[in-house]
Amino acid sequence: MKHINDYLSVPYVDGGRDMTGLDCWGQPRFVLHNVYGKPLFKSFGHVSPDDKKNLTNSYRQIVDQFKPCSAKEQAIACGFRGGNLIHMGLCVFIDGQLQILHTSRKKGPSIIKVSDFYKLFFEVKFYEYTG
In the predicted model, what is the mean pLDDT of residues 81-90?
96
Q: Output 113-116 pairs: Cβ under 8 A, ≥24 positions apart.
A: 114/71, 114/77
pLDDT higher than threshold 70 for residue 53: yes
Picking from 33, 62, 68, the residue whose alpha carbon sits closest to that of residue 47 is: 62
Can you give the pLDDT at residue 2?
Answer: 73
pLDDT higher than threshold 90 for residue 37: yes
**For 42-52, what is each residue's pLDDT tens digit?**
899 899 888 98
Where does the pLDDT of residue 98 fall: very low under 50, low under 70, confident under 90, or very high at 90 and above? very high
Can you give the pLDDT at residue 22?
Answer: 97
pTM given for the model: 0.94
Q: Which residues pair with 19 in a beta bridge?
A: none
Can you give the pLDDT at residue 115?
Answer: 98
In the predicted model, what is the mean pLDDT of residues 55-76?
95
- Domains of the chain, start order: 4-129 (3.90.1720.10)
Furthest CA-CA distance within the chain: 36
Window from 1-5, 74-78, 112-116 with minimum mean pLDDT: 1-5
Where does the pLDDT of residue 3 fall: very low under 50, low under 70, confident under 90, or very high at 90 and above? confident
Can you give the pLDDT at residue 49?
Answer: 85
Backbone angles phi, psi at 92, to 5 degrees: -140, 155
